[in-house]
Structure 1
Amino acid sequence: MMNVLSTLITPEKGGKQPVYIQIANQLMSLIKDGTLQSGYRLLSTRQLAAILKVHRRTVVQAYDELLAQGWLESQTGNGTFVAKHLPEIRPLPLPVKETSDKDPLKKAGFQFDRPPHLDKPILKAGWRLHLDDGFPDPRLAPLDDLSRAYRSQLLHGNAYTRLGYGETSGTSWLRQELSAHLNETRGLKTSPANILIVRGVINGMYLTVTSLVKPGDYVAIDSPGWFGAAMNVTQAGARVCEVPVDEHGMVVDALEEICEKQPIRMVYVTSHHQYPTAVALRPDRRIKLLKLAEQYGFVIFEDDYDYDFHYLSKPLLPLFGADRAGMVLYCGSFTKTISPAFRIGYLVGPEDVIAQLASLRRIIDRQGDTMLENAIAELLQTGVIQRHLRKSVRVYKQRRDLFCELLKSELQDHVRFEVPDGGMAVWTSFDPAIDIPKLAERAAQKDLYFSNGKVAGYPPPFRNYIRLGFASSDPGELEESVTILKNLL
């Protein structure tokens, strides 16, 4: 055994780990794999030190470490032994073909489901040019003001209160400022108790579906629509009902026909700028949708992801403001206002539902980023965000006009589109003969990103449609992007 140990225990002197830790870890491995069985008497510290050519004190430290962890036990006057309470381990050689892919850091030893609805690529920034899904330009964001406000939150005030646990529903300051902001800009009549701070619309959707929808329920979603909503519904074990969309938004008459055939628990709708088409839900359809909700008892989840960016006239007010029966939950975020990196959103609804969702949020994400929430509250209170929005709307309108003119003049033989009244992207139809995934791949080689359409999963009539975002690119970048597309086509 002395000869065996001299080959099995090989501490590296001068390594990153102390030698006694290396010895202890290697002895532990020999015990785990069954080489040293329970009750085995170890060499004395003097003998092992001589074999390993280390100081005896080093071996003493290694033994002490394993004694403390329970791997060894000492019998006064008799020596040190592998602990007897350990189960007997008999090493079994594995077949060679099975050992090649048994890396526990790469592959779990247990089975688990891999639902196909979660198998969606995640978009990450990485291209110099981008005609994205409709994201803001972070170069316009009030980052200096936000930085100062965040620093102020970190350094000033009672540290225990400021840096400790807070309210699950979000900081009271942000909910108060948001309530005032939403009431002023969207004609709502909320109080802070009507608001839950979330980490973006998709977080609000997850909380809502998880809490209010049961397995087997039917949830109606516009088609084409946002794949994130469908993913959440499927994850909850509910069934998706697709409602067609035309030039006036969701076809509410078609929704009514569905309601007559089967019970609908929830309707997901992007009423202001329908995703992905960017059209607004017509007023008469809004009224009918609210009446259907009251008649059939379904929840309306109103996703208003870019309300503030409307260019033609005053935007239509949210369904939530016209709801007299408490059937609507209204959700928005600062993702489009500032940048996707700042995960601050809001879910607005009746007080009892908001309290319920806050309770659920507690076991998923104890609370949000208190520092960031209060920094945003300060920017709302001082009017920084309001001024930023007014500036951004002017800039994005100019970019929309330029981009649409470029599409019309440079790509008129290949694309069709309608100039959107609002939003940050143009719903674009490419010639059916064009292979969108291949075109996107070739564009990426030119450092230009746009969606290949696969993630969105639009139904067959819209397979050659994609959203081309214009807001995140300046005029020069838009011109260069369209030139690359023109040359590729």
Structure 2
Amino acid sequence: MSSPATVPYKSFVQIDRQSGTAIYLQIAHQLINAIQRGFLVTGTRLPGTRHFCELLDVNRNTIVAVYDELDAQGWVETRPNKGTFIIGKIDPTPQKIRNTQENQLAHYPKVTGFSFKKSNLLDNPFEHSSCEYVFNDGTPDIRLTQISHLSSLYSANLKRKSNHKKLGYYNHDGSEFFKQHLSNYLNQSRGLHISKDNILITRSTEMSVFITSEILLSPGDIVLVGSLSYFSVNMIFQKSGARIMPVPIDEEGIDVDAVRNICKTHQIRMLYITPHHHYPTTVTLSASRRIALLHLASEFGFIILEDDYDYDFHYDNSPVLPLASADSNGMVIYIGAFGKSLAPGFRTGFIVAPENLMTEMRKHLGIIDRQGDVLMEQVLGEMIEAGEIHRYLKKSLKVYQERRDHIVQVLEDQLQEFIDFKKPAGGLAVWTRWKQPINLMQLSKACVRNNLFIPKTLLYQHKELTAMRLGFGHFTLQEAENSVQLLRQGVLEQWGR
């Protein structure tokens, strides 16, 4: 066994006096680390407390606390009149190999000691920048949210004694109170005919798509999407092993004739659509095509996964009711996000489907998200019950409509010679097509130099298309004007004007 005098403790016990972790715990953890790595082998006698405190320049009571901690965790034993010894299995690692580990004891491994599957498909597509102005794909403005009011609602629920029992147990199926009010809200606003038993509460739209894909898609299944579609959802489909097949999009939405022709030659499992405001082009699927798609789904037996993307943001006309409101054959799964006009922490996702499928979905949710947020769901349910969610939305819609009208005017003034676009009837973004091809990646780099960031996820360019999706919801009127001016400056630099 090693003598206490021959073990170089100071080489692997390093004290950080600025750390929030107590010094005795720092020492104890590093000694345990040394034992686990095999540097301090079974039978090693630790130095006496007086000698060890002098060695590490700490108070003797600190070392006593270290030994008590090691003893409590079962790493050492104190033998009367003999000292404190490391206990456990005898380490078979040769001393020479253990010595080479000496300088590694305080570091976490940089790589695993085993192989694992890697996915380039799931590489994070999102970018971030420190530029003052940033275009996005159309997100709400957090500054419009009444944070103080929302926090007071949450705080009130946290303090309410009747809710204390709920904190110790969460039904991963979701709050019955929230589901009841959410089903009422969706019935009134979307023309659905559902009960709380048709709803699954999730964290986000992406989680809803993931659960749906896990249950309904198998490797090799064909999923139809718009020729331009939401990249995150496509990634989920591909991760499930599905084959994505694009379908053309025009001014009335997805081309139903093209869908029918594909169905005649292929076995289609699912069609994913964002009919209210197609992502990224913002066009609305016409009423006639909605009916036609329902007929095709029944005829050829494919699932329609309907995403209510930006359903709440309509400015000029009443929203067209979703396909799910007219589905009588159980072919449509309806997914979306509730509370998008609220602060991010107060938003949630949902899935609407027939009860037999909902039973299976709850199983999957139960193994990936058992905890949930019972208090948040209670708050959201109360907001629906009191009508506050309608007031939030009504107030924010006025602001977003003004911002839409303003950025449309600014785009016409600043970029009319370069781009074509139509004023969107809803949503929080404008779809722009360039009249002449321009290298969008180079344009993005030029804009960064001018303090404007345009993420690559907003850029759409191939042989037949040069387009950008420009979100305006998060901009004030002045910020939108400044951003478009910087974009124009980047364009002029690109073309040497």
Q: TM-score range by the shorter chain?
A: 0.7 to 0.9
Secondary structure of the residue aligned to 1:118 is: coil
Question: Runs of 5+ in structure 2 lacking a partner?
Answer: 492-497
**Percentage of matched positions with identical amino acids:** 38
Q: Which residue of 1 aligns with 2:467?
A: 465
Shift of residue 320, structure 1, vs aligned partner: 0.2
RMSD of aligned Cα (Å): 3.3
Shift of residue 246, structure 1, vs aligned partner: 1.6
TM-score by length of 2: 0.86
Conservation of the 8 A alpha-carbon contact between 1:200 and 1:335: no
Conservation of the 8 A alpha-carbon contact between 1:6 and 1:52: no
Tell me whether 1:276 sits opposite 2:274 in the alignment.
no
Distance 2:421 2:336 in 1: 26
Change in Cα spacing, 1:389 to 1:31, as seen in structure 2 (3 Å) is closer
Distance 2:236 2:167 in 1: 32
Q: Which residue of 2 aligns with 1:486?
A: 488
Q: What is the one-letter code of the residue matched to 1:228?
A: S
Deviates more, 1:413-422 or 1:425-434: 425-434
The match for 2:392 among 388, 398, 411 is 388
Tell me whether 1:211 sits opposite 2:215 in the alignment.
yes
Change in Cα spacing, 1:24 to 1:297, as seen in structure 2 (3 Å) is same
Conservation of the 8 A alpha-carbon contact between 1:170 and 1:368: yes
Change in Cα spacing, 1:462 to 1:139, as seen in structure 2 (3 Å) is farther
Q: What is the one-letter code of the residue matched to 1:194?
A: N
Secondary structure of the residue aligned to 2:7 is: helix
Conservation of the 8 A alpha-carbon contact between 1:39 and 1:81: yes
Aligned residues between the structures: 484
Q: Which residue of 2 aligns with 1:300?
A: 304
The match for 1:168 among 166, 169, 172 is 172
Shift of residue 396, structure 1, vs aligned partner: 2.0
Tell me whether 1:113 sits opposite 2:114 in the alignment.
no
The match for 1:376 among 368, 377, 380 is 380
TM-score by length of 1: 0.87
Deviates more, 1:457-466 or 1:296-305: 457-466
Secondary structure of the residue aligned to 1:117 is: coil
Q: Which residue of 2 aligns with 1:221?
A: 225
Distance 1:85 1:175 in 2: 54
Give per-residue Cα distances to partners, 1:415-454, cap 9 Å, x unaligned.
12122222111111235542222322333344433333xx
Q: Which residue of 2 aligns with 1:408?
A: 412
Deviates more, 1:68-77 or 1:383-392: 68-77
Conservation of the 8 A alpha-carbon contact between 1:183 and 1:189: yes
Q: Which residue of 1 aligns with 2:495?
A: none
Q: Which residue of 2 aligns with 1:319?
A: 323
Question: Runs of 5+ in structure 1 lacking a partner?
Answer: none
Distance 1:401 1:14 in 2: 58
Which runs of structure 2 are paired with 1:127-276 in the superposition (5 Å)?
A: 127-276=131-280
Q: Which residue of 2 aligns with 1:354?
A: 358
Q: Which residue of 2 aligns with 1:338?
A: 342
Deviates more, 1:86-95 or 1:367-376: 86-95
The match for 1:474 among 476, 482, 485 is 476
Distance 1:45 1:142 in 2: 58
Give per-residue Cα distances to partners, 1:168-213, cap 9 Å, x unaligned.
2322222222222221222111111111222221111111111221
Change in Cα spacing, 1:127 to 1:198, as seen in structure 2 (3 Å) is farther
Give per-residue Cα distances to partners, 1:245-295, cap 9 Å, x unaligned.
122111122222222222222111111111101111122221121112112
Deviates more, 1:380-389 or 1:67-76: 67-76
Shift of residue 301, structure 1, vs aligned partner: 0.8
Distance 2:88 2:147 in 1: 62
